[in-house]
Structure 1
Amino acid sequence: MSDEAPDRDEGTGQAVPAVSGNEAHLQSILDSVPDAMIVIDEAGRIISFSSAAERMFGFSEAELIGENVSTLMPSPDRERHDMYLKRYLVTGERRIIGIGRVTTARRRDGTTFPIELSVGEAHIGSRRIYTGFIRDLTERQRTELRLHDLQDALTHVSRVTAMGTLATSIAHELNQPLTAIANYVQTASEMLADPSAENIALIREALDECAAQSIRAGQIVRRLRDFISRGETERQIVALPRLVNEASALAFVGTGSRSVEFEVRIDPSAELLLVDRIQIQQVLLNLIRNAVEAMETSPFKRLELSSSRIHDGHVQVTVADSGPGLAPQVAAQLFQPFMTTKAAGMGLGLSICRTIVEAHGGKIWAEPSSLGGTAFHFTLPEAEIHADE
């Protein structure tokens, strides 16, 4: 217990609680917490903005007190946050509160960065407040980048080894029919020197064998292709905004994305997809990372991700950048295996994207974007939700 006597109010003479010291102590603790802390009211207005939040977002607390917290969010969350909050107040359904998630946030300069968001709820009298704790994933994972680099190197070796094994398998399988074709053709060519009726018959027989062996070679290639692509996808109904949030957060970790303006425009009438969540996240991850890398030397770096409903129950997703664009000869072979514009690339990323999209019954293509760079478009099946479900 403290030996200090409580202060007295000069007007009433009553004791005044000595809370100023406790408040200062609490404030010093909050100021030292590395995670940003933001407190909002039921209307989404900011009522507290910690020092860590000031450093993270580039705003001062004085600038944001009373402002809507959606100021710190990129599209489409910025436009929809108030709706999310009202829905929770009406339904009580928790989608972030007490659960947390990985998403993206927006700095004062407009750049987007990945965060881990945890939200708590409290009642103060009749008031309800929400406290958000925000961790910048780019900062947290800075120490993990060396491990990621090692993992990438190991993955590269693994892929090269697998490709070597596959190449050896293909060579072994195809060697016999190709050797047979070469022998038959050489024999037929030599027999043409004496075009007797008997030799012509043998030549026809040799050419028939060539055709048979070429068919066998084609069957070997198809069998290997089916073996590589075999496997059922686990399709489920997934919200496109969630896919975009998670994929973009992962894509921006460890990349030079701090100066990239990132805007998302999702068609609210076509948000639900019937897809394998992990596979489509891989497609988005590849396209976003490719866009960020393509804009590395561009003075203006803008990335736009949008979606719209198209015919026959599909949704079209577009990832557009302001990079240098693609040369026509590169664009024509862009989705072929081993086609790459990167010095250290293997040229498999876009080929894998095409395989995944086509396995979902969609298609993928690229064209010049209105931002001056490249726009990748791909289509995915929309989930059918019936009114009685």
Structure 2
Amino acid sequence: MNLPASAGLSFSSAAERMFQYNESEVLGEDISMLMPSPDRERHGRYLNNYLETGERKVIGIGRLTNARRRDGSIFPIDLSIGEAYGTEQRIFTGFIRDLTETRNRERRLQDLQHELAHVSRVTAMGTLASALAHELNQPLTAIANYMEASADLVDSTDPQDRDMLREAVGEAAGQALRAGEIIRSLREFIQRGETDRQSESLRLILNEGAALAFAGMDSSGIDFDLLVPSDADHVLTNRVQLQQVIINLVRNAVEAMQERQGRRLRISSKREPDGKIRISVEDNGPGLSPDIQKRLFTPFNTSKARGMGVGLSICQTIVEGHGGRIWADRSVLGGMAFHFTLDPCEEADND
């Protein structure tokens, strides 16, 4: 499309299709007829300013702007204008690319992104429900077992049975409180995206977490080591959430060693060169294939016949919420080693 200062000299067939004008309708007309407001009204002033001062705003530069079709519809274009000198007049040539399809693709991409966000929210709700079911299963099962034992003892008049009844009821109440703590802790984590952390002794939490994990499992014959040096003991953590990580990892390790003779489980901590505290849970089970290892922390991925595949995903969420990372590799014991890092509590270390 060639244009002098104000009138069209030629109009290509591509321009005819783009603007819905025949060439005969454009030739000799002011080119501003193809522009929407406010460019239409500004065109003459801009062109005169360029001819007088040489100040370029579009010519030789190009820009994204809008154009106007015969039917009045506006569409986006990529506009470039070249300049040439004829024998009698200055000639401007406009190169226009219709960006309608590009914009449509962008809008479609935005729509798909909104749809994906919606699906992600729904998936997150499903993951949360599964996570709650997974995490609450252990304390609720313990409550059921304690209450079943209590029912068998409630009619007994034997003082020893009465003592056992009181102990069972007390343990059930403790597990009920633990279930409430799990719900509260997960709710706070989701609402704030962070955890309430304070100085805690790793030795105590790891020991308690392992004991809770062993409850209801066949832990007989396991050679269990807990190695926590003094310089890798105190960490900044949420006690309940850290216990959840330990329970998941220990239960996985015990289940992995079911068919092993001479089962070995080791939980240890050490200070890393970057100052973080690394906690490791290692077993001498059969290990995992490389393919399974790649997907270990993906929700609903499991190698267990009846597993839900959310335990390790929960561990990852908790550890990353603490500002740490979690990974797995082969253990020197022969099975798997799961490692994760936490921030140290320097004040406690200096006590």
TM-score (norm 1): 0.46
Structure 2 residue 214 is the aligned partner of structure 1 residue 252: yes
Q: Assess, with a 3 A threshold, how the Cα gap between structure 1 residues 387 and 262 changes in structure 2: closer, same or farther.
A: closer
Q: State the match for 1:214 in structure 2.
A: 112
CA distance in 2, matches of 1:386, 1:299: 40
Shift of 1:339: 0.6
Amino acid across the alignment from 2:226: V
Q: State the match for 1:334 in structure 2.
A: 296
Q: State the match for 2:248 in structure 1.
A: 286
CA distance in 1, matches of 2:241, 2:349: 28
Secondary structure at the aligned position of 1:385 is classed as: helix
Shift of 1:245: 1.4
Q: State the match for 2:154 in structure 1.
A: none
CA distance in 2, matches of 1:265, 1:233: 26
Shift of 1:222: 6.3
CA contact (8 A) 2:199 2:348 kept: no
Unaligned residue ranges in structure 2 (runs of 5+) = 1-95, 129-189
Q: State the match for 1:373 in structure 2.
A: 335
Q: Assess, with a 3 A threshold, how the Cα gap between structure 1 residues 388 and 326 changes in structure 2: closer, same or farther.
A: closer
Q: Assess, with a 3 A threshold, how the Cα gap between structure 1 residues 360 and 291 changes in structure 2: closer, same or farther.
A: same
CA distance in 2, matches of 1:357, 1:388: 24
Structure 2 residue 101 is the aligned partner of structure 1 residue 203: yes
Aligned pairs (5 A) from 1:13-52: none
| Selected match of 1:343 from 300, 305, 309 | 305
Secondary structure at the aligned position of 1:273 is classed as: strand
* 1:224-277 C-alpha deviation (Å, 9 max, x unpaired): 688863334221111001001111111111111111110111121121111000
Structure 2 residue 196 is the aligned partner of structure 1 residue 239: no
Q: More helix by proportion, 1 or 2?
A: 2
CA distance in 2, matches of 1:297, 1:385: 44
Whose Rg is larger? 2
Q: State the match for 1:98 in structure 2.
A: none
Aligned pairs (5 A) from 1:72-111: none
CA distance in 2, matches of 1:386, 1:328: 39
Structure 2 residue 128 is the aligned partner of structure 1 residue 230: no
Aligned pairs (5 A) from 1:109-120: none
CA distance in 2, matches of 1:335, 1:230: 22
TM-score (norm 2): 0.51
Amino acid across the alignment from 2:263: K
Secondary structure at the aligned position of 2:102 is classed as: helix
Count of residue pairs the alignment pairs up:
193
Aligned pairs (5 A) from 1:280-319: 280-319=242-281
Q: Assess, with a 3 A threshold, how the Cα gap between structure 1 residues 221 and 314 changes in structure 2: closer, same or farther.
A: farther
Aligned pairs (5 A) from 1:165-204: 202-204=100-102
Q: Assess, with a 3 A threshold, how the Cα gap between structure 1 residues 386 and 268 changes in structure 2: closer, same or farther.
A: closer
Shift of 1:280: 0.2
Structure 1 vs Structure 2 CA RMSD? 2.7
Amino acid across the alignment from 1:342: K
CA distance in 2, matches of 1:199, 1:268: 70
Q: Assess, with a 3 A threshold, how the Cα gap between structure 1 residues 387 and 237 changes in structure 2: closer, same or farther.
A: closer
Shift of 1:323: 0.2
Shift of 1:218: 4.5
Secondary structure at the aligned position of 1:367 is classed as: strand
Unaligned residue ranges in structure 1 (runs of 5+) = 1-197
Identity %: 43
